[in-house]
């Protein structure tokens, strides 16, 4: 029996304890059983089955074409390969546009193996967050740059740079915590704003392009392996520094996040 198999399964309570201690945890995307096992072996606490699969696996220009059928299939695949990590799953575009759809689709992802669902938006998600939390479904709310709203934003742009927008984001984060959100995810926001929000909340905050002060960090797996055609500022190629191939790159990422070495200043927005 390996040392990894002796580790306890990561739960929401585990993540809350890490947050309370002021420590860090690592999150990476995975879409299949093989990579789920590699993430487990590397000590990655959270696996995100993201709708990023639309771009990474399916070749779309954005995440909008991803369906619930796609998400359920990939959550099931990850679940089969997972023994330890906490599984979070994206609810895809327009899958939470009504109360009935929100409940039915979240339940489908939980039955497939998710332990938390992730929704993109702001304070307007408070009622959906409360609805799910009251029924025992943990919720992560994704704020900042929300890829499902890419057509509204007009591109992949940093959010929260002007004072009014930043203040609104802090207020909405507090509202969502009050509504029952268990985790907040911030994408492409200034590091100073991410720090402010993290300090204002009691729940863990995960960042991607949000500076070093959030409780957790998340990246797309293919990005840390240097095989994605698009290379955002907040991405680092960990495979280039690995002496143990893909497994080593994943382990290096997880260790660097927990030790506070990643993200470095060059991966952050002012």
Q: What is the pLDDT along the chain (270 residues), one digit of tens a residue?
A: 333 334 799 999 999 999 999 999 999 999 999 999 999 999 999 999 999 999 999 999 999 999 999 999 999 999 999 999 999 999 999 999 999 999 999 999 999 999 999 999 999 999 999 999 999 999 999 999 999 998 887 777 899 999 999 999 999 999 999 999 999 999 999 999 999 999 999 999 999 999 999 999 999 999 999 999 888 999 999 999 999 999 999 999 999 999 999 999 999 998
Would you state the torsion angle of the CA atoms of residues 45, 117, 208, 158, taken in this order, to the nearest 10 degrees? -170
Q: Report the relative pairing of strands 205-208 and 183-187 from DSSP bridges.
A: parallel
Neighbours of 18 (CB within 10 A): 18
Task: Give CA–CA dist 190/207, Å, rounded.
Answer: 11
Q: Is 24 annotated as a binding residue?
A: no
pTM, two decimals, is 0.95
Which residues, other chains included, contact 127 with Cβ-Cβ below 8 Å and sequence gap of 6+? 179
Q: Is 118 annotated as a binding residue?
A: yes
The highest-level CATH class for domain 12-267 is alpha beta
Catalytic residue selected from 187, 199, 241, 266:
187
* Domain layout of the chain by residue ranges: 12-267
Among this protein's residues, is 187 annotated catalytic? yes
Q: Is 90 annotated as a binding residue?
A: yes
């Amino acid at each position: 029996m390996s040392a990894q198999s002796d580790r306890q399964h990561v739960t929401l309570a585990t993540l809350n304890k890490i947050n309370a201690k002021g420590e860090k945890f690592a999150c990476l995307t995975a879409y299949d059983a093989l990579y789920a096992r590699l993430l487990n072996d590397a000590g990655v606490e959270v696996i995100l089955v993201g709708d990023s699969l639309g771009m990474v696996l399916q070749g779309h220009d954005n995440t909008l074409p991803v369906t619930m059928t796609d998400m359920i299939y990939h959550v099931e695949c990850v679940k089969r390969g997972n023994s330890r990590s906490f599984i979070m799953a994206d609810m895809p575009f327009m899958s939470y546009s009504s109360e009935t759809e929100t409940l039915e689709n979240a339940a489908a992802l939980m039955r497939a193996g998710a332990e938390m669902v992730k929704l993109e938006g702001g304070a307007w998600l408070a009622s959906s967050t409360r609805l799910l939390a009251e029924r025992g479904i943990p919720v992560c709310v994704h704020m900042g740059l929300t890829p499902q709203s890419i057509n509204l934003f007009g591109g992949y742009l940093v959010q929260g740079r002007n004072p009014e927008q930043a203040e609104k984001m802090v207020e909405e984060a507090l509202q969502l915590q009050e509504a029952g959100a268990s985790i907040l995810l911030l994408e492409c926001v200034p590091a100073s704003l991410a720090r402010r929000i993290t300090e204002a909340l009691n729940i863990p905050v995960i960042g991607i392009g949000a500076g070093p002060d959030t409780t957790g960090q998340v990246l797309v797996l293919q990005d840390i392996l240097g095989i994605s055609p698009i290379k955002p500022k907040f991405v680092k190629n960990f495979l280039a520094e690995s002496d143990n191939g893909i497994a080593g790159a994943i382990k290096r990422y997880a260790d660097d996040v927990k030790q506070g070495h990643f993200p470095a200043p060059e991966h952050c927005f002012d």
